[in-house]
Amino acid sequence: MGEVIPPFYHCILSQGKDQEEAKEKAIENLKLVEEHLKGKQFFGGETYGLQDFAFGWLAYYPGIIRKAVNLEMLDEETFPNLCAWKERFSDFPVIKENWPDEDAVILMTWSSPFALRVVWALKLKGVEYETIYEDLANKSSSLLEYNPVHKKVPVLLHNGIPICESLVILEYIDETWNEGGEDQEKAKEKVLENLKFVEEHLKGKKFFDGEVFGFLDLVFGWLVAPSVFHAYTSQEMEKEEAKGLALQNLDIIEKQLIGKKFFSGATFGFLDLAFGWIANYLGIFEETGGIKLLDKERFPLILEWKENFSNIPEIKENWPDREKLVTKFRLMREYYISVAAAKRTIS
Ligand SMILES: N[C@@H](CCC(=O)N[C@@H](CS)C(=O)NCC(=O)O)C(=O)O
């Protein structure tokens, strides 16, 4: 038994030729196990016993390895006895109900509003996950490997498979941890299908609604946060202009809430998570950037939504500490202003 497990680990930890060798060794070992099961229902014979528990991991981990490093180990043709045993063994309630949770890890920073969307979604779905905090000034090799293009957080790693971009991750979470327990591969396919749909929808159009810029452009273009961010980092003359753009974007959002408690209607959903940062970060930008955006007269619906949204327990319990955020964003503003001043001096 002790001989069977190591090559499996090696398959995950190695690459290229080493991985090929580990796979061969693992398959050789599996063939011995296959032989041992010939003509038997379970390892001990007709009923299951200690040996089945000892080999129980074989009913689960080859699937994880397939998903994590794309290596197929237990195919039905080569291992008919093992595959049949796996079905029988996995069917016992005591086994079925006690498999470890699927492995979910978020690479994030404590203050990222994009990462927070993912935290909320996982909490709302009741999914256990691990958190790896990144230092964005010194990005880990994992972050560079899993998000090689943008090198940004959040990244969700699900059974070793990386998913990037917070809105894509939200959709993936919704597809994966639904009532029916969607299969991971199918969930990923669905997310890609939906992205293709968005792409199709945009064909030949300037904006989502045609010629005029609208709400969906804000959602998919991630445009509100940058405009608010710009208003918060800008100074003097530039500030009024930046503020004007942020307010225009917020006007579009306000209109979406007419007659609704949440963006999605009576209950909250994807869009509420997407715009969730407005309920908390926007106030921090206002406070640390010396701007007022959300006044009662102009944005009564956003302010009402903010109350409704913030009162959802999973949201309320998972905001970063306000004082810490204020300190961070105050420093960040100073940094941006000094960089802009240095640029002006150089040019
Ligand atoms: N569109 C991305 C934005 C993510 C993002 O901007 N993350 C920031 C932290 S809040 C980051 O990782 N910045 C690092 C960098 O730009 O190098 C998403 O929605 O996931």
Residues 120 and 174 grouped into a single domain: yes
- Mutating to test ligand 1, I would choose from 116, 143, 150, 163 the residue with most ligand atoms within 8 A of its C-beta, which is 150
- Spatial CB neighbours of 198, under 8 Å, sequence gap ≥ 6: 220
Asked if residue 209 is part of any domain, the answer here is no
- The residue whose CB lies within 8 Å of the most ligand 1 atoms, and thus the one to mutate among 114, 119, 165, is 114
**Same-domain pairing of 118 and 74:** no
DSSP helix/strand/coil, 260: coil
Residue 87 is assigned to a structural domain of this protein:
yes
Pick the last residue of a domain from 142, 172, 202.
Answer: 202
Question: Does the Cβ of 114 fall within 6 Å of ligand 1?
Answer: yes
Do 15 and 82 share a domain, yes or no? yes
| Residues 111 and 149 occupy one common structural domain | yes
d(CA 6, CA 281): 48
Token pair recorded at residue 44: 């001990």
Phi, psi of 212 (to 5 degrees): -105, 135
Please indicate, yes or no, if residue 287 is contained in any of the structural domains: yes
Q: How many other CB atoms are found less than 10 A from the CB of residue 231?
A: 24
Do 242 and 336 lie in one domain? The reply is yes
Q: How far apart are CA 295 and CA 254, in angstroms?
A: 12
Instruction: Judge if the beta carbon of residue 147 lies within 6 A of ligand 1.
Output: no
Which residues does 72 contact at the CB level (< 8 Å), separation at least 6?
Answer: 66
Domain membership flag for residue 210: no
Between CA 144 and CA 47 the distance in angstroms is: 49
As a dihedral over the C-alpha atoms of residue 241, residue 247, residue 252, residue 258, rounded to 10 degrees, the angle is -160
Q: Is 112 in the pocket of ligand 1 (CB under 6 A)?
A: yes
Amino acid in the structure at residue 276: G
Domain ranges, residue 138: 104-202
pTM for the full model?
0.69
- Residue 131 phi, psi (nearest 5): -115, 130
CB under 8 Å to 334, separation ≥6 — which residues?
Answer: none
Give the type of residue at 137. A
**Same domain, residue pair 269 and 188:** no
Asked if 182 and 158 touch (Cβ cutoff 8 Å), the reply is no
Cα(129)–Cα(123) distance, rounded to whole angstroms?
A: 9
- Helix, strand, coil shares of the chain, percent, nearest 5, are 60, 5, 35
Q: Are residues 231 and 338 in the same domain?
A: yes
The answer to whether residues 29 and 86 belong to one domain is yes
The tokens 């180990």 sit on which residue?
73
CATH code: domain of residue 265:
1.20.1050.10
Tens-level pLDDT at each residue, the chain (347 residues) = 556 778 887 887 788 898 889 889 989 989 999 999 999 999 988 888 888 888 888 888 787 777 667 788 888 899 999 999 999 998 888 887 777 666 899 999 999 999 999 999 999 888 989 999 999 999 998 899 899 999 999 999 987 788 998 988 998 898 888 765 556 566 666 667 766 766 676 777 777 666 766 667 666 666 677 788 888 888 877 888 888 989 998 998 899 899 999 987 888 888 889 889 999 999 999 999 999 999 999 999 999 999 999 999 999 999 999 999 999 999 999 998 898 888 878 77
